[in-house]
């Protein structure tokens, strides 16, 4: 009798399964454990997490690591997911530039145009044209309102721009109501004497003129070329309640754009080149045409070139081998990213088209051998590199009640999407593709502009709600949930993530419906696209309809909506899919670790 264990090193978690082999060669599963992966998958830093998981699993059966006869680890090819955050539509603002601003607390309503000057200088200017007053932080709201009321006796004052958060206080003291925009932090950088426009929409509405490039062109008499240059700024104000546009001196604000670049995809039989700015569909078309892929390179000096070089350099640093790192798969996804508007007064952004790219980096066996050597030295237990993840996952998925051969699996992980099909003769065909849960988190973070990966991980995994009063919330599925005790006033009016019973606020002006739309769209782009792509590669005769049913395994199979999105797509091909239940107790987790035990000496005899 001896104890053995299987270890699955994933991008996000490390899972183990402990079993016992009796004198007749029968395998009995005893316990399992899961911990966060330490370091990058497939590198020696994983050993710390492995020993922690082994200790947890063995502790459940009152055993120690030294009681083990063998530790079987999966063949873990390191996968790095990264995004090429270059805009497809380049933003170049040079001549006749504009600067804009959208604060949270404007006052009044309407459009005001005129020449912009400090409020204490206008009484020395000519009276036959309209003016917009600048009120800096050194002038309090009572004095500012008094000065503006006095100016209105002689001058046409069409709008006010305030540095501090005092728009409403000034507005309430004016004899003539005009639009006011405040919170202009860099008011001292505004070019004095320039023609400007201030627009504030009524409550519940958004601006019309300044979010329309042609509206701006009408106000400032722009030609066609100048109108094209203000498009990104106009886009940044779509849906906003207020905005300022100021026409600055010729050429005072400039932006240099780095090219998106070209990808070179080296296949076993062909070389495909594709411009990144053509979008994800063209990139994936070129990738599929070149398959099987030997390596991928990016054009030097471009965004995609920098990204590819960084991925390879990261893996070279980890493996210590400059020649072994090859990119063998990519997943390209069209997305939107917030780009800073050059010349903006308060960090405004414009949503621009971009391409997110996940790359799968494969190295030689050396990194896994280093893990095995280090783990063996630290534990004193023989360590065996036992098998490819997808193959082991197929064996583990076979323990799901109700399954039979042939059996296909989709292993939905953090850094990769794996697929495999196990036939009646025990033969396995598998594929390992880039792009999975980590890419979804990155894209959610990018499209929402939250700059908080931890929050975006919660958004990915959990449903949302809107706190509509201190005693009730509205869930994203329209259900209303009431509370006997009042909720925190800090949550009132906020969109929140329902992480079990914990409420995590999302500090953004984006509506709940929009966040849900973005979350689902990204999941479809990554996992649904990858599922179809992977299954097409392993399907008998390359026909999806030849796969009768599919078991979903891996951490992302626990997601509350990804399995349903995949089922919806695969049902079009008459394929049934669903979450696995490994060993009738683990759900979709632990498939690879379980398979590593089942493949011990090729035995399939299980108690």
The domain 1-77+365-401+581-607 is placed in CATH, from the list 3.20.10.10, 3.40.50.1370, 1.20.1740.10, 3.30.420.40, at 3.30.420.40
Residues in contact with 322: Cβ distance below 8 Å, sequence separation at least 6, in sequence order: 316
Q: What is the CATH number of domain 262-362?
A: 3.90.470.30
Q: Residue 249's pLDDT band (boundaries 50, 70, 90)?
A: low
Q: Round the average pLDDT of the chain to a whole number and report it.
A: 85
Q: Residue 540's pLDDT band (boundaries 50, 70, 90)?
A: confident
Looking up tokens 């108690």 gives 607
Mean pLDDT of 237-245: 82
Long-range contacts of 583-589 (CB under 8 A, 24+ apart): 583/29, 583/399, 584/399, 584/400, 584/401, 586/32, 587/557, 587/558, 588/552, 588/553, 588/554, 588/555, 588/557, 588/558, 589/15, 589/34, 589/553, 589/554, 589/555, 589/558
Would you say residue 577 has pLDDT above 50?
A: yes
Mean pLDDT of 285-314: 86
Q: Given this structure, which CATH class describes domain 406-579?
A: alpha beta
How, if at all, do strands 13-21 and 27-36 pair?
A: antiparallel
**By percentage, how much of the chain surpasses pLDDT 70?**
88
Q: Do domains 1-77+365-401+581-607 and 406-579 have the same CATH topology?
A: yes
Would you say residue 511 has pLDDT above 80?
A: yes
Higher pLDDT, residue 126 or 90: 126
What pLDDT, on the 0 to 100 scale, is given for residue 422? 86
339 has which bridge partners? Answer: 350
Would you say residue 322 has pLDDT above 80?
A: no
Higher pLDDT, residue 490 or 229: 490
Which tokens in the block code for residue 293? 């892929």
Overall fold of domain 98-247: Glucose Oxidase; domain 1 (3.50.30)
Tens-digit pLDDT profile for residues 79-111 = 554 544 444 433 333 333 445 556 667 899 999
Mean pLDDT of 306-316: 78
Strand order in the sheet with 27-36: 27-36, 13-21, 2-9, 68-75, 382-388
The H or E element containing residue 417 is: strand 416-422
CB 528 within 8 A of CB 565: yes
Question: How many Å apart are CA 236 and CA 126, to the nearest integer?
Answer: 34
Mean pLDDT of 177-205: 87
Tens-digit pLDDT profile for residues 370-410 = 899 999 999 999 999 987 777 889 989 999 998 888 889 99
Mean pLDDT of 488-508: 92
**By percentage, how much of the chain surpasses pLDDT 90?**
53
Tens-digit pLDDT profile for residues 448-467 = 888 899 999 999 999 999 99
Which of 139-143, 181-185, 257-261, 536-540 has the largest mean confidence?
139-143
Domain ranges across the chain: 1-77+365-401+581-607, 98-247, 262-362, 406-579
Strand order in the sheet with 502-506: 480-482, 472-475, 464-467, 495-499, 502-506
Residues in contact with 291: Cβ distance below 8 Å, sequence separation at least 6, in sequence order: 267
Question: How many Å apart are CA 327 and CA 2, to the nearest integer?
Answer: 40
Residue among 227, 279, 345 at smallest CA distance from 86: 279
Question: 388-417 burial by CB neighbour count: b if 16+ within 10 A, else e?
Answer: bbbbbbbbbbbbbeeeeebbbbbbbbbbbb
Helices (H), 339-472: 366-379, 389-397, 437-448, 453-461
Tens-digit pLDDT profile for residues 31-57 = 999 999 998 787 889 999 999 999 999
Higher pLDDT, residue 185 or 590: 590
């Amino acid at each position: 009798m001896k104890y053995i264990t299987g270890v699955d090193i994933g991008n996000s978690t490390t899972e183990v399964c402990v079993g016992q082999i009796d004198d007749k060669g029968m395998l009995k599963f005893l316990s399992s454990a899961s911990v966060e992966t330490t370091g990058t998958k497939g590198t020696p830093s994983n050993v710390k997490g492995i020993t922690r998981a082994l200790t947890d699993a063995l502790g459940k059966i009152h055993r120690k690591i030294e009681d083990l006869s063998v530790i079987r680890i999966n063949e873990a090819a390191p996968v790095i997911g990264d995004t090429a955050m270059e805009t497809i539509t380049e933003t170049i603002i040079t001549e006749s530039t504009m600067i804009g601003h959208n604060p949270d607390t404007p006052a009044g309503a309407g459009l005001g145009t005129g020449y912009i000057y400090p409020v204490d200088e206008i009484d020395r200017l000519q009276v036959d044209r309209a003016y917009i007053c600048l009120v800096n932080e050194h002038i309090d709201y009572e004095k500012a309102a008094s000065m503006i009321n006095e100016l209105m006796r002689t001058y046409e004052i069409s709008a006010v721009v305030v540095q501090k958060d005092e728009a409403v206080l000034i507005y309430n003291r004016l004899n003539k109501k005009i639009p006011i925009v405040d919170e202009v932090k860099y008011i001292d950088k505004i070019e004095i004497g320039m023609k400007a426009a201030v627009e504030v929409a009524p409550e519940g509405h958004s601006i019309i003129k300044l979010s329309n490039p042609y509206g701006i062109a009408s106000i400032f008499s722009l030609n066609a070329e100048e109108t094209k240059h203000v498009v990104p700024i106009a886009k940044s104000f779509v849906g906003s309640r207020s905005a300022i546009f100021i026409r600055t001196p010729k050429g005072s604000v400039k932006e240099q754009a780095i090219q998106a670049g070209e990808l070179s995809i080296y296949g076993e039989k062909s070389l495909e080149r594709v411009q990144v700015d053509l979008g994800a569909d063209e990139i994936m078309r070129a990738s599929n045409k070149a398959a099987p892929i030997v390596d991928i390179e990016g054009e030097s000096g471009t965004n995609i070139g920098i990204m590819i070089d960084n991925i390879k350099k990261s893996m070279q640093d980890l493996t210590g081998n400059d020649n072994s790192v090859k990119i063998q798969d990519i997943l390209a996804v069209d997305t939107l990213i917030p780009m800073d508007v050059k010349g903006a007064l308060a960090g405004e952004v414009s949503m621009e088209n971009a391409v997110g790219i996940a790359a799968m980096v494969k190295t030689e066996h050396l990194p896994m051998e280093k893990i095995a050597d280090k783990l063996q030295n630290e534990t004193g237990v023989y360590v065996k590199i036992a098998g490819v993840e997808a193959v082991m996952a197929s064996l583990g998925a076979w323990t799901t009640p109700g399954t039979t051969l042939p059996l296909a699996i989709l292993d939905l992980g953090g850094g990769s999407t794996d697929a495999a099909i196990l036939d009646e003769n025990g033969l396995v065909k598998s594929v390992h593709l880039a792009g999975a849960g980590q890419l979804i988190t990155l894209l959610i973070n990018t499209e929402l502009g939250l700059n908080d990966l931890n929050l975006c991980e919660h958004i990915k995994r959990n449903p949302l709600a809107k706190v509509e009063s201190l005693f009730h919330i509205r869930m994203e599925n329209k259900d209303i949930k009431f509370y006997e005790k009042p909720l925190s006033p800090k949550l009132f009016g906020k969109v929140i993530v329902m992480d079990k019973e914990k409420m995590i606020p999302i500090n953004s002006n984006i509506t709940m419906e929009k966040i849900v739309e973005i979350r689902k769209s990204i999941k479809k782009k990554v996992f649904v696209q990858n599922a179809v792509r992977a299954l097409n590669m392993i399907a008998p005769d390359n026909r999806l309809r030849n796969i009768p049913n599919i078991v979903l395994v891996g951490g992302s199979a626990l997601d509350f909506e990804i399995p349903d999105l995949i089922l919806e797509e695969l049902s079009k091909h008459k394929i049934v899919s669903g979450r696995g239940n490994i060993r009738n107790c683990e759900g979709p987790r632990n498939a690879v670790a379980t398979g590593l035990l089942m493949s011990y000496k090729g035995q399939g005899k299980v108690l």
